[in-house]
Amino acid sequence: MSVHTTACPRNCYSTCAMRVTVEGGRITAIDPHEGNLATAEGPCLKGLSYLERQTSPERILHPLRRTPSGTFERVGWDEALDLIARHVDAARREHGPQSLFYYTGSGTKGLLNACGLAFWRQFGGCTTTYGDLCWPAGLEATRLTFGDNRQSAPWDIARARLIIMWGKNASETNLHQMRFVHQALECGAKLVVIDPRRTPTADRAHLLLQPRPGTDGALALGLAHLLIEDGQVDEAFIREHVLGYEAFAALVKAWTPVRTAQVCGLPESQILELADLMGEVTPMSICAGFGMQRYTNGGQTMRAIQALLPLTGNLGKPGAGWIYANLATQIFGHLKDPLDFYPPEQPDGVVRVSVSTARLGADMLAQQDPPLKVGWVERGNPAAQNPETPTVRAALRALDFLVVVDERLTDTAREAHLVLPSKSLFEQTDVIGAYWHAYLQIRPKVVEPPGEVRPETEIYRALGERLGFSSDQLAQCLPEPGAAGVEAWLEARLAPHGLSLDQLREGPVLAPGAEEIAFADLRFSTPSGKVELLSEEAADRWGVDTLPTFTPPLESQAAGGGQYPLQLLTPNTKNSIHSQFLPLQVIRQLMPGPSLEMSPEDAHLRGLKEGDLVRVFNGRGSLELPLRIHFGLRPGVVAAFNGFGAEDGGSVNLLSLGRETDLGFGAGFHDNLVDVERV
Amino acid sequence: MATQFTFDPNRCTGCQACVVACWMENRAVQSQPWRAVHTFNACGHPDLPVFHLSFACHHCEAPACLEHCPADAYTKDAATGAVTIHADRCMGCRYCTWACPHDAPKFNEALGTIEKCTLCPGRLSQGLEPACVARCPMEALGVSALDAGRILVGVPGLPPSATAPAIAIAALRHPEPPSLGHRPPEASMGPYLEALLRVAHPKITLRGEWTLLLFTTVISGLAAWLGASLLGGPPVHRWTFLVLGALVLALSTAHLGRPERAWRVLLHLRTSWLSREVAAVSLFLGLGILATFVQPALGLPAALAGFGALFAIDRLYRVALRTGPWNLHSAHALFNGLFLLGLLAGIRPLALVLGLVKALLYLHRKGHFAELGRPVRPGVSALRLGIGFLGPLGLSLTHPLMAAALAILGDLVDRAEYYDELEVATPQADLRARLREGATAPPS
C-alpha cells in the first residue's frame, strides 16, 4: 500500500489537494490533504467519486473506430495511428496544414497539455480557436479596471464583514469557499447573495436579491448612485487611486433607485438596504461568479460591479476586494489569461487562430483557404458544452476525419471517426495550477493506465514517428518517452522558479508571487496606475463605452423579450463539472437525471404540474425535461443544469446561440430566451 | 469512550461527500447508501429556511432496532456505543426498518439481511474518525464524546422517540429564511405544496406486505373461531384450521430474507413484541391443532393464546405512525378477533359494541389520513362499512358463518387500507410534517 499527494485537475475553483491510496495497483481510497489550506478538509463528492471513475465500465480502454452503421469497433493502436497518419498527411498535402483543426477544452489541467499545440506546430501548423467558454469577459473587465487578475488568498474572506456573492453559488461550485464564508458568518459578518435563483448559498444569506437576468450591471450602477448620493464613498481612496470618478458619478446620476428597481425587477427597498450595507459595513468582499459575464453585456456588467469596491475603499486590505480569478499560478507561459487566448496581433503563419470558441460551429464551417478537413479534439466535449449544439454537430460532421481523445464516449466522441482513450489523472505525472487559490500541485502517476490507454504525449510521439518527424522535431514538442522523460520535462519547467517535483510530492506549494492580500500596495498595472472606472482601452480594443454603461443583453427580458417569455439559466450542479462525472453510478444515485426548474407562478400560468414532462423550446431547438417547481425561483426564469447530453435527452445548448461577449472573446450564450409547454 | 455524531446545518452545503465517503469505505458490503442527506424545504417555501441534515445511524443510547429485533441480531458496544447489526444472525424480517425512527437499517435485497452504518469501528480503533466525518469538506459532520446534555426534543429530523440518538445537532444561526424580495401568491404555491407534501416513497405498502395482511386476518379469524366454538358457536373444522394455520406460517416464513433462520425469531422474547407475537401464534396453532385433533380440553388455553397473539400483533404495529392519541384504529387484530367472536358465538352485544367502535375508529382514521393529504377512496369506505359492519350485524343471528365471512372481508379491506396508510416515523416524514406546519402558518 502506498499513499500519494495528488490534486484534482478539473476545471473547478477548488482544485483540491488529495491523498490517494494505492493497493495492488488499484486506487482504494481518496482522502483530504491538509497541505492545501484552501481545501484542507478534503475534496467534494466528485473528488471522492474518482474511485469509481478510475475503473468505470464507461471508460474507453482502447482505440475505437466508427463503423458505417454508427457503432464503434475496437481497433489496434497500429491501425488507429496509420489511419490518422493517412488522413492528416493527405489533408496537409492537399489543403495545407491549416486544414487540420485542433480543439481543446478545459477537461483536465496540466502543463503537458501544451504538447498538443507544440506537436501540430511541428506538423506544419493547424487552425485553432481563440476566446474561451468560461470567464474571459470577467477577466478582461478585471484587467481593464485593476490592471491584473489578482485576488487575496481564499481564506481572507473569513475576515470580511460584508460578503457579496454576486451571481455565484459557491455552495455548489466552490464549496470550499463556503468554509471561509461560514467562518466570517460565525464572527458576525453579513452575507448578501445576488442571484435569480434561491440557491443553497442564498439560504445562508441575510439578504437575497433576485434581479432580472443580465441586469446586474444596472443594479451595480444603482448601488453606486445611492453610495454617492448618500456620501457613503471613500473620498480619500478615490482621490488617490481612482481614474474617472467624476465621469462615473455623472453616469450613475441617472440610475435612481426607481429606475434601477424597474430595470432589475427588484423592490426598491432591497436596493436601498444593500446600498446601506455597502456604505456602512467594511471590509467588504465581492465574489463574482462566471454566469453573469456570459451574457452579451457581461464585460460591462463586471466593470460596473467592480466599481463598487474602489468607491467604498474596499481594496488592498484584509477582508476586502474583488474575488473572481487568481492567476498567480500562471507562471509557466509568457502571457497570462485573458491575453493568452486572444488571437495574436501578428499571426505567425503557422498556427491560424481564427475560430471563435463562442461561435465554434459557424466559424469552423466558415473557414476558407484552407477549409477545415481533419479535426482533433482533446479534453473537451463541444457537441454538448459549446453554444449551438446543432451547428457544432454540423461542423464536426463536415470534416473528412475527426479524432476525439476522451475517457468515455461523450456526445463529441460519438461524432468521431476514431476515438482514442485518454489517461486519467492517476496515470501520468503532471503539474497543475489553480484559479481560486495559488497552489501549484503535482498530480503524479500512481497506477498504470488500464487496457491499452496511452497518455496523449505518447499518442503524439507514435503519430509523429509515422509522419516522419525527426527526433529533433519530437524533442521540440514532447517529453522523452516514459515516466522518466515526463518527469525530466516537468523538472525543466519548474526549475526556473526554484521548484521541483520532490517538493510538490511533499504537498501543494504556493506559487512564487502568491499574495495574501491582493493589491496591498495599492498599485494597479493599468495604463494610469489607478483603478480605472474610465478605460480608454475598453473603448479602443472592444468598442464599448469607456465607462461601465449598462445595455441589456441582446436576447433578454431586459431588452424587451420578444417571442419567448422565459430566460433560461443553465447553471452548474455540485454533482458534475460540465459533462464530466454525470454517468457515474455514485453520482446518478444522488441525481438521476436532468430537470427544468420553474417558479410556481409560471407553472400555474401554463397549467403545469410537478413532474410533468415539458418541452423547453425556442426558434433554435427544443429539449424535453421533467418539471420541478421551486418557490424561490424568480418568475420569468427557468433553470436547467448544464452537463447532460444526448443520452439524457440532449444538451441545454440545443437552445443557445453562439455569439461573443462584449469583452474578452467570451461566449455570450446565457442570452437565451425560451418558452415551455407540456409535452 | 461512548461516541456521538455532531452535525452543524449552518456549515453543511448538502454536497453529499459524506454519502460518497461512506460508500468508499464500505463499498464491499454496502448495497445502498447508509448515509443520506435530507433537505428541509427543498421547494424553497418563502416562509422557511432551507437546510440539510446528513444522517446515518445515530447509534442510539436506547436503540429501537436492538429492542425490537426478534432475532437478537443487534448489539451495542459498551465502549464506543456503536450499534451493530450482525448479518449472520439476521433473518431478514425487516421489522427494524419500521422500528427505527431514524431510517438507519437498510435491507440488502441480495443477501436478504439488514445492513447499516457501523460507526467505522476499524477506523475508530486506529484513532481515525469515521469515513464520513474524516471526508466532510465542510467540517459540518463530526464525532465527539457522548454529551448527556445534547438536545433531542424538537430537533428537525429527529422524530420524537425514546431512542436517545447519539447525535448533537447545532441550531441554525438564522432560523429565518434570507430576506426575500418576492413571495409567490398562495394561489400558485398551494397546489404544488400539496403535491410535494404527499408521501413519495412509503416504507410500508400493501403490495409489499400482503402476506402480513393474510397472516393477521387468518390468525384473528382462527382465534375467534376457536373461542366461539367453546362458547357454543360453530365447531372448528380441524383440517381447515390445520391447513390455514400452516399456510400463513409458511407464507410469513417465506416473507423473510433468510427463511432458513426463521428459528431465530424466538431469541428475543425479552424485549421484542415480534418475538412474543410469533411465540404466541405458535403456541396458539400448536395447542389449537392438539385441541381439534387430540385433546379438546386444550381448547381454552389455545383460544387464550390466540387472543394473546392478537394482542401481540397489535403491539408490534405500534411502531408505525400513530393515528390519534391512543393509537387505536379499526384494523386492530384484537378488535377484529373480538368482533368475529361476538358474531360467531352469537354474543350480539359484543358484536354490536365492537362493530360500532370499529366503525367509528375507521371513520376517525380516514379523517386523520385525509388531513395528511392521503387519498380518501369513498367507494372503498362504503364497501368496507357496508360489507364489514352492516352485513354481519344483520346476518349474525341467522347465518353466523356467513356473517363472519363478511366481517373478515370487511376487515381485509380495512387492513389493506391500513397497510397503505401506515407510515413509520422517519427523518423525511418529520421534515415533511415541519414543512406542512411551517408553510401553512400565516406569514409573519
Contact A206 B179 (CB under 8 A): yes
Residue B322: pLDDT band (50, 70, 90) is: low
Q: Can you tell me the distance from the alpha carbon of B222 to that of B228, in angstroms, rounded to the nearest whole number?
A: 10
Cα of A574 to nearest chain B Cα, Å: 7
For A52, name the nearest residue in chain B, comparing CA atoms only: B24
In a mutational test of the B interface, the residue from A175, A199, A631 whose CB has the highest number of chain B CBs within 10 Å is A631
Which pLDDT does position B321 carry in this prediction? 62
In degrees and rounded to multiples of 5, residue B337 shows phi and psi of -60, -45
Q: Is the pLDDT confidence value at B199 over 70?
A: no
Q: Is the pLDDT confidence value at A362 over 60?
A: yes
- Average the pLDDT over A347-351 and give the result: 95
What are the tens digits of pLDDT across the range A104-147? 999 999 999 999 999 999 999 999 999 999 999 999 999 999 99
Which pLDDT does position B197 carry in this prediction? 83
- Average the pLDDT over B311-316 and give the result: 92
Task: Copy the grid coordinates of residue B17.
Answer: 461527500
The helix (H) or strand (E) run that includes residue B245 is helix B238-254
Task: Copy the grid coordinates of residue A6.
Answer: 495528488
What are the tens digits of pLDDT across the range B211-233? 888 999 999 999 999 999 999 98
What are the tens digits of pLDDT across the range A447-490? 999 999 999 999 999 999 999 999 999 999 999 999 999 999 99
Q: Is the pLDDT confidence value at B444 over 60?
A: no
The helix (H) or strand (E) run that includes residue A674 is strand A673-678
- Average the pLDDT over B188-208 and give the result: 82
Higher-confidence position of B158 and B209:
B158
A633 to chain B: which residues are within 8 Å by CB? 44
Task: Copy the grid coordinates of residue B352.
Answer: 354490536
Q: Which of B17, B138, B185 lies at the smallest CB-CB distance from A178?
A: B138
Q: Could you tell me if B58 and B166 are in contact, meaning their C-beta atoms sit under 8 angstroms apart?
A: yes
Which pLDDT does position B319 carry in this prediction? 80
Contact A203 B51 (CB under 8 A): yes
A609 to chain B: which residues are within 8 Å by CB? 191-192, 195
Query: Would you tell me which residues 105-144 of chain B have a C-beta closer than 8 angstroms to some C-beta of chain A?
Result: 134-139
- Positive or negative torsion for Cα B439, B441, B442, B444: negative
Q: Is the pLDDT confidence value at A148 over 60?
A: yes
What are the tens digits of pLDDT across the range A43-65? 999 999 999 999 999 999 999 99
Task: Copy the grid coordinates of residue B413.
Answer: 379491506
A186 to chain B: which residues are within 8 Å by CB? 10, 173
Which pLDDT does position A662 carry in this prediction? 98
Nearest CA among B102, B93, B101, B113 for reference residue B32: B113
Contact A208 B180 (CB under 8 A): yes
Residue B441: pLDDT band (50, 70, 90) is: low
Which pLDDT does position B383 carry in this prediction? 86
A30 to chain B: which residues are within 8 Å by CB? 24
Task: Copy the grid coordinates of residue A409.
Answer: 464516449
- Average the pLDDT over A626-646 and give the result: 97
Q: Can you tell me the distance from the alpha carbon of B56 to that of B44, in angstroms, rounded to the nearest whole number?
A: 24
- A-B Cβ pairs (cutoff 8 Å, strict): 150
- pTM attached to this predicted model: 0.95
Q: Which of A186, A266, A590 lies at the smallest CB-CB distance from B16?
A: A590
Query: Would you tell me which residues 6-35 of chain B have a C-beta closer than 8 angstroms to some C-beta of chain A?
Result: 10-11, 13-17, 19-21, 23-25, 27, 33
Q: Which of B134, B137, B173 lies at the smallest CB-CB distance from A175?
A: B137
B51 to chain A: which residues are within 8 Å by CB? 203
Q: Can you tell me the distance from the alpha carbon of A318 to that of A366, in angstroms, rounded to the nearest whole number?
A: 50
Contact B11 A182 (CB under 8 A): yes
Which pLDDT does position B200 carry in this prediction? 66
Q: Which of A48, A193, A198 lies at the smallest CB-CB distance from B21?
A: A48
- Average the pLDDT over B163-173 and give the result: 96
Task: Copy the grid coordinates of residue A296.
Answer: 452579451
Contact B134 A603 (CB under 8 A): no
Higher-confidence position of A657 and B378:
A657
For B25, name the nearest residue in chain A, comparing CA atoms only: A29
Q: Please report which residue ranges of A403-559 form alpha helices under DSSP H.
A: 456-466, 471-477, 482-494, 501-506, 536-542
Residue B416: pLDDT band (50, 70, 90) is: confident
What are the tens digits of pLDDT across the range B381-414? 888 888 888 888 888 778 888 888 899 999 888 8
Which pLDDT does position B324 carry in this prediction? 58
Three-state secondary structure along A546-615? CCCCCCCCCCCCCCCCCCCCEEEECCCCCCCECCECCCCHHHHCCCCCCCEEECHHHHHHHCCCCCCEEE
Percent of chain A with pLDDT over 70: 100
Cα of A590 to nearest chain B Cα, Å: 8
Q: Is the pLDDT confidence value at A588 over 60?
A: yes
Q: Can you tell me the distance from the alpha carbon of A638 to that of A630, in angstroms, rounded to the nearest whole number?
A: 10
What are the tens digits of pLDDT across the range B359-373? 998 888 888 878 777
Nearest CA among B333, B390, B323 for reference residue B356: B390
Which pLDDT does position A536 carry in this prediction? 98
In a mutational test of the B interface, the residue from A204, A574, A591 whose CB has the highest number of chain B CBs within 10 Å is A204
Which pLDDT does position B57 carry in this prediction? 98
Mean pLDDT is lowest, of A106-115, A252-261, A656-665, B365-374, for B365-374
Contact B134 A32 (CB under 8 A): yes
In DSSP terms, B179 is beta-bridged to: A207
Say yes or no: A461 contacts chain B, CB-CB below 8 A. Answer: no
Cis peptide before B33, with omega less than 30 degrees from 0?
no
How does the average pLDDT of chain A come out, rounded?
Answer: 97
Nearest CA among A490, A497, A491, A493 for reference residue A512: A497
Q: Can you tell me the distance from the alpha carbon of B429 to that of A13, in angstroms, rounded to the nearest whole number?
A: 36
Contact A267 B181 (CB under 8 A): yes
Q: Which of B49, B139, B196 lies at the smallest CB-CB distance from A41?
A: B139
In a mutational test of the A interface, the residue from B30, B52, B133, B188 whose CB has the highest number of chain A CBs within 10 Å is B188
Q: Is the pLDDT confidence value at A554 over 90?
A: yes
Q: Could you tell me if A679 and A152 are in contact, meaning their C-beta atoms sit under 8 angstroms apart?
A: no
In DSSP terms, B128 is beta-bridged to: none
**DSSP assignment of A367-380, as one string?**
--SSPP-EEEEES-
Which pLDDT does position B443 carry in this prediction? 47
Contact B135 A193 (CB under 8 A): no
Cα of B54 to nearest chain A Cα, Å: 13
Q: Can you tell me the distance from the alpha carbon of A248 to that of A362, in angstroms, rounded to the nearest whole number?
A: 38
Which pLDDT does position B201 carry in this prediction? 74
Say yes or no: A200 contacts chain B, CB-CB below 8 A. Answer: yes
Q: Which amino acid is at B412?
A: L
Contact B46 A632 (CB under 8 A): yes
Say yes or no: B297 contacts chain A, CB-CB below 8 A. Answer: no
Q: Can you tell me the distance from the alpha carbon of B298 to that of B125, in angstroms, rounded to the nearest whole number?
A: 56
A207 to chain B: which residues are within 8 Å by CB? 178-179
B185 to chain A: which residues are within 8 Å by CB? 601
Q: What is the ipTM of this complex?
A: 0.96
C-alpha distances out from residue B321 to B193, B329, B360, B440, Å: 22, 12, 19, 22
C-alpha distances out from residue A445 to A7, A20, A463, Å: 11, 11, 23
- Average the pLDDT over A356-375 and give the result: 98
What are the tens digits of pLDDT across the range A422-437? 999 999 999 999 999 9
Q: Can you tell me the distance from the alpha carbon of B153 to that of B223, in angstroms, rounded to the nearest whole number?
A: 41
Q: Can you tell me the distance from the alpha carbon of A531 to that of A147, in angstroms, rounded to the nearest whole number?
A: 8
A44 to chain B: which residues are within 8 Å by CB? 15, 17, 137
